[in-house]
Amino acid sequence: MNIIDIKGSLHDERVLAVISLSMYMPTEEKLNSRADKYESDANISAFACDDNGSICGTIILRHIANNEYEIMGIATDPAHRHQGVASRLVAFAVDTLKCKIIKAETDDDAVGFYRRYGFQINSLGEKYPDCVRYLCTLKIL
């Protein structure tokens, strides 16, 4: 498996299929709109884990300031889960972008991943009806 830069390939169907896993109720229109937005934003970086032509994970990050980034979306294809794909994507982003701080907002489904990776977790409460959200922050020394 190799990590590749996908900033110019966000409309690739293989990439969109994985990105859709990180979205609430994705539609083709929403996916293409998000891909357009990310591709046109100079502050967005996008990487994927490529396994012999199969996209098995993606991470999209937004540069906030200095060496601080926000994860806009991270997803792993179900067939590749629990194989360290998301961890490899975060590690690659940290190394490539020289991140000092990475933040992500998530829900109950993914907060365990961030906790295991070493992010500090702060509950934001029930931001949406019946949906607790968390701010996850990783500070790299």
User: What are 60-117's pLDDT values in tens digits?
Assistant: 999 999 999 999 999 999 999 999 999 999 999 999 999 999 999 999 889 999 999 9
Residue 122, pLDDT > 90, answer yes
Residue with tokens 């293409």: 32
Token duo for residue 117 = 């990776």
Work out the pLDDT band at 130, boundaries 50, 70, 90: confident
Q: Does 1 have pLDDT greater than 90?
A: no
Domain that holds residue 82: 2-139
Q: Residue 114 maps to which CATH number?
A: 3.40.630.30
User: What are 33-52's pLDDT values in tens digits?
Assistant: 999 999 999 999 999 999 99
Half-sphere exposure of 38 (CA within 13 A, CB side): 26
Determine the pLDDT at residue 125.
85
pLDDT score of 35: 96
Q: Structure pTM?
A: 0.93
Question: What pLDDT, on the 0 to 100 scale, is given for residue 56?
Answer: 96
Q: How many domains does the structure of the chain reveal?
A: 1
**Starting at the edge strand that comes first in sequence, how are the strands of the sheet with 120-128 ordered?**
2-5, 44-51, 54-65, 68-76, 101-107, 131-139, 120-128
Strand 2-5, strand 120-128: pairing: unpaired
Work out the average pLDDT over 24-40.
Answer: 94
Question: For residue 100, what pLDDT is reported?
Answer: 96
| pLDDT for position 114 | 95
Question: By the 8 A CB rule, do 35 and 11 touch?
Answer: yes
Q: Give residue 104's pLDDT.
A: 96
- Residue 13, number of CB atoms within 10 A of its CB: 8
Task: Give the 3-state secondary structure of residue 83.
Answer: coil
